[in-house]
């Protein structure tokens, strides 16, 4: 079964300019912590990389609002590392890394295993394993 092994974020929301890695494991994952610790930002990062088009669903007015507010931060970059040991993704790699980068001007780019790709390609790739940007892939607070 395909699952996310880890999330890496740099310049995203409250996580600042240092790269933050959140390891995940196969099966049920629960992220807990005190108010203001960034739990919801992890869900926002997932939505963003999965191809979400609504900044409001990620608690932002526009996509550039997802970038950390430090004066030197020019972009936010989030990568999801998927386990592909069962070859469900049609990619000849045991790990598939999907990255989305948003810049201050609001434009964003996608990469799959460090190669620039279109949003359409990423959505098609994710659909191969039953993941959609507007599907219920995880359960947020209050759901």
Contact 44, 13 (CB under 8 A): yes
How much is the pLDDT for 40?
84
pLDDT in 10s for each residue of the chain, 143 residues: 789 999 999 999 988 888 999 999 888 777 888 888 888 888 888 888 998 888 778 788 888 888 898 778 899 999 999 999 999 999 999 999 999 999 999 899 999 999 999 999 999 999 999 887 776 555 555 66
Q: Which two tokens stand for residue 102?
A: 């948003």
Number of H helices, E strands in the chain: 2, 6
pLDDT of residue 118: 96
Closest-CA residue to 7 (of 36, 56, 44): 44
**Which domains does the chain show, CATH number per domain?**
3-27+38-127 (3.40.50.300)
């Amino acid at each position: 079964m395909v699952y996310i092994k880890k999330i890496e974020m740099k310049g995203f929301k409250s996580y600042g300019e240092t790269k933050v890695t959140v390891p995940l494991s196969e099966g049920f994952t629960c992220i807990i912590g005190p108010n203001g610790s960034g739990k919801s930002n992890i869900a926002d990062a997932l939505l963003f990389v999965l191809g979400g088009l609504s900044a409001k669903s990620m608690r932002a007015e526009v996509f550039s609002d997802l970038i950390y507010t430090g004066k030197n931060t020019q972009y936010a970059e989030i990568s999801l590392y998927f386990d592909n040991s069962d070859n469900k993704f049609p990619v000849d790699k045991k790990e598939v890394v999907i990255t989305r980068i948003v810049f201050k001007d609001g434009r964003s780019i996608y990469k799959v295993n460090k190669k620039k790709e279109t949003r359409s390609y990423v959505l098609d790739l994710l659909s191969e394993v039953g993941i959609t940007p507007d599907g219920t892939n995880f359960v947020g607070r209050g759901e």
